[in-house]
Structure 1
């Protein structure tokens, strides 16, 4: 059985723990890395070549847009994972910028954890 490999890019320890718990409770998923900065995220993605990257836009150092830009422009280095944003920033302009970088979903942290969970579940079911 192939597991969906996931990297979480999130700087809040509380949200890291919450999302980790949700992912680890799902069948056919494997959290292969968690990173709190842009540099750590890119290193973790390059090392693990995940199927999915869940990205917060505001990080301790760097930002999620930098992660998305690198994934979009350097697929030989990072592979071609699916990308979703999980953020508190609901700006339509920012969402459009993320969509231009190839994201497949944009989830609001304040009320869309269940939607993110459903998305991950649907991906893992098809893997």
Structure 2
């Protein structure tokens, strides 16, 4: 072990201790956390799936939403010109389908949907 690795480990430990003392690292959820989680579960989410025909990721996203019994609206964009205009509206990094929006907030594709659902489940 060299000096730098020991220093990094020490810094990590001190940061973790100070966060724990500040209450930022909680082992058990508090009543406030549980109340917020209940409210999130009770909220209704408006989910819009922009998809295209013959898209396996689009089908997987729709199957995931169906398996969780979450209602969604599907908008198919099969025309190439319309799809390019949609990509331009979403941003320069968007070049794939599906594009999923929850409450008019873009979460991305299938991986983004899985992450958002995992976060809502907590």
In the superposition, the TM-score normalised over structure 1's length comes to 0.38
Which has a greater percent of helix? 2
**When you count strand as a share of all residues, which structure comes out higher?**
1
- Structure number with greater Rg is 2
Structure 2 length normalisation: TM-score? 0.39
